[in-house]
Amino acid sequence: MNKIRICLDAGHVGSRYNQSPVVKTYYESAAMWSLHLKLKTALEALGFEVVTTRASIDTKMDVYDRGAASKGCDVFLSLHSNACGTESVDYPVVYRAYDGLNGSDVLAGKLAARIGAEMGTAQAGRTAIRKNSAGNEYYGVLRGARAVGTPQYLLVEHSFHTNARAAQWLLSDIHLAGLALAEAEVLAEHYGLSAVPEGKTAILGTVQATAQQMALFCRSRNAAPRLPACSVEELAQMFLEEGAAEGVRGDVAWAQSLKETGFFRYGGIVLPEQNNYAGIGALNGNAQGQAASFPDPRTGARAQIQHLKAYACTERLANACVDPRFPLVTRGCAPYVEWLGAADNPQGKGWAFPGQGYGESIVKLLEQILAQETPQSPAPSLEPEALAGFPAWQRDGLAALQAAGVIDSPDYWAAKFSEGVTVGELFGILGKMAGRA
């Protein structure tokens, strides 16, 4: 299949064209030059072919010719920020074909909405048309693109640099990088391509592992996880629930926890009773216990999920924030697991510092979790009625111990579910687990 070709045009020539009257360090030409390069990188990572109109920020080129340079491309995008006399005006507007050629309003509308959400503009994004007196496109770039038959041509105004908030926002290189990823995602979705680059694992999205796989894989590496307030099975379930609440992959977070806690062996700065499963606030050089503590396992899982969401996107939290370090994160700087280590992140930001290979090692654990085989039924050899009255976490516990080879006679133990256990029996089980640890 031929690649979708996109032509990108950075709005104006030079590094100091169209200064913001309210944020004096902002120049439209410089910001849009930077944005179009980032967008090129993001689009190419998703499998698009990208050409740009001008070779350097100072290269002069007539606007009509820039549009015409998109000949043979599927899409032409000219990138701008807008200006007007009213400071409070703050919304993105995407100019599209005046006659709705090739359904141009659809892509334009998606881009406008997404840019508005990404930039957090005061008013919602919208599309617009503008004709000249001859009834053709008003903007020369769009006239040129139309003349050479480019099916989709859009002029994208990234809100108004006459608005202080918007201009300030656009001054941040990290914001522009996030904006580029968001726009690339919209285009990928529109053209039916995957919105995640090849070789990258999105932090947001639908889980692929089950709680059982997550727990069993953990127990296969450490038969006695040091979780003072819940079972490993319960905690795995909490990760899935908390992840679903925020749109974060709970299985990704779990893989991160296994790495951070050494399969819940601990032994570093964080203590097991802190319910802190990913070293939140445990900075290099801290003494033991000098890290965030959470009142219970669910809050600990929630904080980690929220912290991941802070890195993965700019969307607001669904639940009240329990992550003490949430405000310190540069929102959206690491949408992929592979970018969680600062050394591996194009923005140089990340959960782990320097963190080279940090994300990669989490992905490896995730793959092993997904490869974890689970018994067809949690406890195939048990009498169902013997256990029917007992909570799932107890029954799952027996199944997990059986699967881990700690318990050899599940029927015997199933019949004793409501009974006390002797010291001898307890030591027998613990001794087996210690032998495997």
Question: Could you list the residues that contact Zn ion (CB under 5 A)?
Answer: 11, 80
CB of 10 to Zn ion, least distance (A): 10
What is the C-alpha to C-alpha distance for residues 337 and 256, in angstroms, rounded to an integer?
9
Q: Give the nearest distance from C-beta 92 to Zn ion in angstroms.
A: 13
Q: How far is the CB of 83 from Zn ion (least distance, A)?
A: 8
Nearer to Zn ion, 13 or 148 (CB): 13
Q: Which is nearer to Zn ion, 38 or 80 (CB)?
A: 80
Residue showing the smallest CB distance to Zn ion in the complex: 80
> Which residue's structure tokens are 């310190």?
328
Nearer to Zn ion, 11 or 92 (CB): 11
**Burial class of residue 84 in the structure, from the number of CB atoms within 10 Å of its CB (0-12 exposed, 13-18 middle, 19+ buried):** exposed
Q: Which parts of 191-295 fold into alpha helices (H)? A: 211-221, 232-246, 250-261
Closest CA to 150 of 243, 260, 76, 251: 76
Q: How many C-beta atoms surround the C-beta of residue 207 within 10 A? A: 18
Least distance in angstroms from the C-beta of 75 to Zn ion:
19
- Name the residue nearer to Zn ion (CB basis): 159 or 201: 159
Query: Given the complex with Zn ion, which of 80 and 331 has the nearer CB atom?
Result: 80
We find the least distance from the C-beta atom of residue 90 to Zn ion, in angstroms, to be 16
Task: Kindly tell me which of 158 and 349 has the beta carbon lying closer to Zn ion.
Answer: 158
Q: In sequence order, what E strands does 3-59 have?
A: 5-10, 49-52
Cβ distance to Zn ion smaller for residue 28 or 246: 28
CB of 63 to Zn ion, least distance (A): 10
Of the candidates 266, 267, 268, 270, the one whose C-alpha atom is nearest the C-alpha of residue 280 is: 270
**Which CB sits closer to Zn ion, 52 or 201?**
52
CB of 155 to Zn ion, least distance (A): 8
Cβ at position 106, least distance to Zn ion in Å: 24
One-letter identity of residue 156: V
Q: Whole-number minimum distance, CB 109 to Zn ion, in Å?
A: 21
- Contact (Cβ atoms closer than 8 angstroms) between residue 387 and residue 417: yes
Residues 432, 265: Cα–Cα separation, whole Å = 17
Among 32, 43, 68, smallest CA distance to 53 is for 68
Please say whether the beta carbons of 158 and 83 come within 8 A: no
Burial class (CB in 10 A: 0-12, 13-18, 19+), 21: middle
When the beta carbons of 139 and 351 are compared against Zn ion, the nearer one is 139
Hey, what amino acid is at 124?
A
Distances (CA, A) of 213 to 159, 220, 370: 46, 10, 7
- Which of 83/224 has CB closer to Zn ion? 83
Q: How far is the CB of 80 from Zn ion (least distance, A)?
A: 3
Pairing of strands 152-160, 93-95: antiparallel
What is the distance between the terminal CA atoms of the chain, rounded to a whole angstrom? Answer: 52
- Comparing C-alpha atoms, which of 127, 176, 134 is closest to residue 156? 127
CB 18, CB 83: distance < 8 Å: yes
